[in-house]
Copies of this chain bind each other. A is one copy, B any other.
């Protein structure tokens, strides 16, 4: 049961830091936490900010983040519903690392695209489709 007997390392499958890594190293997690780092948001605002996310994935990911204490959910219990999500302290501590990832992706995606093109072209040459 006690997983903390191990030297805590993400390289060890038994250490629950691996679980933590799996949670935070996911596309929707990165985007949601980055969005909430800008400012606290409601469900609808997140839906609009994060292009392409579905209601289902948003709710599902928010629940998981809330469950792990990274996001706080404030429900005013009004009608119509008014629910606000914000980062917890520990969520804030994570968000800067995640935003670094965002920026890296935004600054370097062109180079990745180019490398992919080169690689695929070479691969097509190596394995030419027999006509």
Contacts and interface: CB of A to CB of B under 8 A. Distances in A.
Task: Tell me if A's interface is mostly helix, strand, loop or mixed.
Answer: helix
A24 B67 CA distance: 24
Copy number in the complex reads 2
Q: What 10 pairs across the A-B complex have the smallest Cβ distances?
A: A69-B115, A13-B52, A20-B109, A17-B109, A20-B105, A13-B51, A21-B105, A17-B105, A67-B119, A68-B112
Nearest to A35: B11
Given A11-B49, A25-B25, A34-B10, A104 B109 contact: no
Interface of A: 4, 8-27, 29-31, 34-35, 49-52, 66-70, 90, 93-94, 97-98, 100-102, 104-106, 108-116, 118-120
B67 A25 contact: no
Contact of A21 (B10, B49, B102): B102
A97 B94 contact: no
Given A90-B108, A93-B104, 11 more contacts: A8-B109, A11-B34, A14-B51, A17-B109, A21-B101, A25-B29, A68-B112, A69-B111, A69-B112, A69-B115, A97-B97
